[in-house]
Structure 1
Amino acid sequence: MTQPGSVGLLAGQSGDAEGKTAPTRRGTELSMLAFAAGLVTAALMLVEMNQNEALSLRILWYGLAYLALFGIAHVAVRKWAPYADPLILPCVALLNGIGLVMIYRLDLAGAEKALRVNAEFQNAVPKQILWTTIALAMFLVVLFVLKDHRTLTRYGYTFGMVGLFLLALPAVLPGAIAPPINGAKIWLVVGPLSIQPGEFAKILMLIFFAAFLVSKRDLFMAAGRRVMGIDLPRARDMGPILVCWAVSVMVLVAEKDLGSSLLFFGTVLVMLYVATERAIWVVVGVSLFVGGCLLAYQLFDHVQVRVAAWLDPFANYDEGGGYQIAQSLFGLGTGGVAGTGLGAGRPDIVPLANSDFITAAIGEELGLIGLAAMLLVYMMLAMRGLRSAIAVRDTFGKLLGGGLSFTLLMQVFVVVGGVTKLIPLTGITAPFLSAGGSSLLANYILVALLLRISDAARKPQTGQKPKPANQAPIAEAHTVMVERPQ
């Protein structure tokens, strides 16, 4: 018997015979989590030594506490998603741990600077540890509540409406509730609490587009007019991509957030291409986005300031917004290939080094080698997600898993590209590394969804192969005369 609500296998795939079991690889996951906790502990020791702090057993206890925290997540995965990919959670644990170490290192520098000028300073790492604990709790809730990722398709349009609402909310609310912070109007502030609704909107919109493309895939594959040898989409099928274009431009203009706009629209284009295998959608989408950016550049001053700082940050070093990117480039140049060593650099000189520019801080103290290693961990995390998306048997899971994985890659590209002056600077934070509660919560929900999809992809099928229909005995079979062709 197959499980209720299950869908048929794709062509060329067959379920495992009943009684066969596949390895869960949970032991591998636990050993990799221990390895990640060991690396985080060693990194913390390096910071303490280079900052002339006394080494004590408390560092070892910090490492064990970190391992215990992710050990709880491991037990939950072992129970509720036993066949999930064994490398996804360790990659997240390593990135999150390195982020905590770097935030702690920046706190030490900030406290020293505040002591010199006799000013107050509030450490960021305790709050980040609290947010990590809350995010892991949310991770457990998603794994426990969501038994089958396909149930999300029932609420696809609801998720889409809520996602659009959250994405546009900071733009329409007054400045008292949604004040501009660091030039972008993407936060909601109520008393001591602040939240970035766009972080959650991206996941809701991914679920909506995956469900929408599954139900409307044939419409997008239908070709329209042929112009210059290219099969253009039909005009009536352009509605969803035009809506995405309008929303992304609205975010770019109203909220002054190029990063979220690029991330949202780029992910939708990739999902559309995966669903239809028609490159023309990518061409149309990129053309629309470039046109929208050019129009925004002509109409709005803040876009011109960002572009000018990107083209020549040193010419706009003092007043034109180029200070951040120039300091980031100085830090990366100081780090060189091998870096200055954890705790031995000056990453605190870069503004927002613990959030938007944390990759620049890592590049300075760990060098090109450390930054490349961090990017490889991101790459491994995304590739394991894509592998699960390819292996899962339902189309919705393929699109959602691919979209979630690409979102991680796109976010890292936007962050590192802005820090290294490859693209204009944006306000997006590095997943799991940067300080901030909204980003951690949203990305741990994303990881829980990826684990749920990978569990469905690797879980052995328990249904038996269908038996052939009962046939009459050969003695009772009718005789059929067949004439031999001449």
Structure 2
Amino acid sequence: MTQAAPRDRAATGSNALQTGLIQLREVTEAIRVRVRNPAKLRNLELFLLVIAWVVGGGAMVLVQLGALETVDLFPLQLAAILAVLTFALHIALRVVAREADAIILPVATALNGIGIAMIYRIDIAQGATGWDAASMRQIAWTGIALVIAIAAIVLVRNHRVLARYRFLAMAAAFVLLLLPLMPGIGRTVNGATVWVGVGPVTFQPGELAKIALAIFFAGYLMTARDSLSVVGKRFLGIRFPRVRDLGPILVVWAMCMLVLVFQRDLGTSLLYFGLFLVMIYVATGRRSWMVIGVGLVALGGVAAYFTMGYVQRRIHAWIHAFDNDVYNASGGSFQIVEGIFGMAHGGLLGTGLGLGRPYLTPYANSDYIIPSLGEELGLAGLMAILCLYIVLVSRGIRVGFQGPDDFTKLLSVGLAFVIGLQVFIVVGGVTRLIPLTGLTTPFLAAGGSSLLANWLIVALLLRLSDSVRGRGFA
């Protein structure tokens, strides 16, 4: 009896502990289900979507009141069709991606709506009407982009399938990059050979190439991360990779230099190389890749400056923007200076939508839509727009760092970062932080190819976030 009692007490204590653990697990699961309630996510998304519709529609009305002193219902009716399409995307998420992030879609919708309103404002100043107006084409391209985004959400149920086609994505990226150089369909606009034209329709295939490259980089680095991150020699406290492991970064660098030389597109080459550099750093965690990448960028930049005249002109326009000789020269700093004057005219709170003169700056609805918004919305409005971009990028990166596997992490971070880097390059260029490159501002600037690519990125991020949350990692 004296020996059985301790065993009985131990058995009783063990059973009580197991019962307690089971109850704790049930409570934890109940809390997690309550926090991850898909219905609440989608309801929050719908509420934010309504706010985004009000922002876009309100901006359109304010533009008309400021520039025309009347309200034209036709553009508002077209904008309402886009609201219906974003609502259709929301319904698709309720059906096939119930746990997708609730913030990404409303933020992208708000940015797209603000961009259409500002493009419409420039059209009014330039007297463009009907389907010849850039704003009408922007609305049409937005509708096409939303339909493609809905199709992507419905068809791509498991994003990991994309890893199987990484080499096909690489081949597609190279084909897309080479298309503008093909005789007969290639188009050169403002000195850059980055366009493809078929009849009246022009398209920039490099916008889609960045998505294909992100898929390839994620798939490749998923399989090669060990050899790229473990082996190497230390120098000055940093472990550098072996020479034979430098092949991937040298190939991507050479590809970006070819884009710079043959297509004369500084911004796209910088965007592609920056995308690969960040993804290889996320995959390996080695600072040496950043050091090597920055060194290659510096080497390529110096070589391009001394061998390519248009790069020299961009650098001179950046450094000596207010010199009379540079300001008045062909391809000089006139556009940069006009944009800076426009933002200065806007001040803190702006002139008001429809009340400024952003149309004085060349390409005010595309390359220079940020200064156009800065003039009429002021520094406060511009900071609000940049905050929307910060939210969009941070949500994508958050999905990546919560991903259960390397491919999910790399693809999500790459897709989110490419939007953030593109915004930085554009805003840095128009504010003279870096040389002007000619990239478009995601969702805001006029351009159908940019809209297609960025809405497809939104669809992929939504699919990735649904996969992550559906497995309890968020």
Q: Mark the CA change 1:63 to 1:138 in structure 2 (over 3 Å): closer, same or farther.
A: closer
Deviation at 1:59? 7.3
2:422 to 411, 422, 425: 411
Aligned partner of 2:311 in structure 1 is: 303
Contact 1:26 1:82 in 2 (8 A): yes
Cα shift at 1:20 = 5.0
Aligned counterpart in structure 2 of residue 29 of structure 1, from 45, 48, 59: 45
Instruction: Quote the Cα distance in structure 1 between the aligned partners of 2:157 and 2:316.
Output: 49
Whole-angstrom CA distance in 2 between matches of 1:156 and 1:189: 28
Distance in 2 separating the partners of 1:177 and 1:404: 28
Is the 2:361–2:368 Cα contact (8 Å) retained in structure 1? yes
Counterpart contact for 1:224–1:233, Cα < 8 Å: yes
Give the corresponding residue for 2:65.
Answer: 49
Work out the CA distance in 2 between the residues paired with 1:106 and 1:374: 19
Match of 1:185, SS state, is strand
**Aligned-residue identity in percent:** 46
Q: 2:133 aligns with which of 106, 123, 147?
A: 123
Match of 1:424?
435
2:289 aligned with 1:281? yes
Instruction: Summarize the alignment of residues 84-233 of structure 1 with structure 2, pairs less than 5 Å apart.
Output: 84-111=100-127, 122-170=132-180, 172-174=181-183, 176-233=184-241
Q: Which residue of structure 2 aligns with residue 478 of structure 1? A: none
Q: Which ranges in structure 1 are unaligned for 5 or more consecutive residues?
A: 1-14, 115-119, 463-486
Is the CA contact (8 Å cut-off) linking 1:222 and 1:234 kept in structure 2? no
Equivalent residue for 1:340?
A: 351
Q: 1:290-439 maps to which residues of 2 (within 5 A)?
A: 290-315=298-323, 316-320=326-330, 321-439=332-450
CA distance in 2, matches of 1:89, 1:250: 35
- 1:147-193 Cα offsets, whole Å, 9 max, x none, are 011000110011012112212332x323x432320121110112111
- Report how far residue 131 of structure 1 moved: 0.4
Q: State the 1:400 CA deviation.
A: 0.3
- In the alignment, the residues of structure 2 paired with residue 329 and residue 56 of structure 1 have an alpha-carbon distance, to the nearest angstrom, of 31
Moved more, 56-65 or 207-216: 56-65
Deviations 1:86-138 (A, max 9, x none): 000000000000001001101000008x9xxxxx9931111111100000010
C-alpha separation in 2, matches of 1:64 and 1:168: 38
For the structure 1 residues 194 and 52, does the alpha-carbon distance in structure 2 shift closer, same or farther, using more than 3 Å as the test? Answer: closer
Q: Deviations over 1:241-275 (max 9, x none)?
A: 00011011111121111111111101111111111
For 2:132, what is the secondary structure of its paired residue?
Answer: coil
- Compute the displacement of 1:392 (Å): 2.0
- Residue 232 of structure 2 aligns to a residue whose secondary structure is strand
8 Å CA contact 1:41, 1:59 repeated in 2: no
Show the counterpart of 1:236. 244
Letter in 1 for 2:182: L
Amino acid at match of 2:96: W
Q: What amino acid maps onto 1:105 in structure 2?
A: R
Determine the C-alpha separation between the residues in 1 that align with 2:104 and 2:320. Answer: 39
CA RMSD of aligned residues (A): 2.2
Distance 1:49 1:249 in 2: 47
In structure 2, the CA distance between the partners of 1:383 and 1:121, relative to structure 1 (3 Å rule), is: closer
Corresponding residue pairs, total: 440
In 1, Cα distance between equivalents of 2:66 and 2:33? 54
The one of the two structures with greater contact order (alpha-carbon pairs below 8 A, sep at least 6) is: 1
The amino acid across from 1:272 in the alignment is I
Distance verdict in 2 for CA 1:290–1:270, change over 3 Å: same
Quickly say closer, same or farther: Cα 1:80–1:254, change in 2 above 3 A: same
Which residue pairs with 1:470 in the alignment? none
CA pair 364-223 structure 1, distance change in 2 beyond 3 A? same
Question: d(CA) in 1 for partners of 2:288 and 2:393?
Answer: 25
8 A Cα contact 1:184 1:427, kept in partner: no
- TM-score, length basis structure 2: 0.89
Q: Which has the higher helix share?
A: 2
TM-score by length of 1: 0.87
Gaps of 5+ in 2: 1-27
Residue 210 (structure 1) shift: 0.3
The question of 1:450 aligning with 2:461 is answered: yes
1:111–1:150 CA distance, 2 compared to 1 (3 A): same
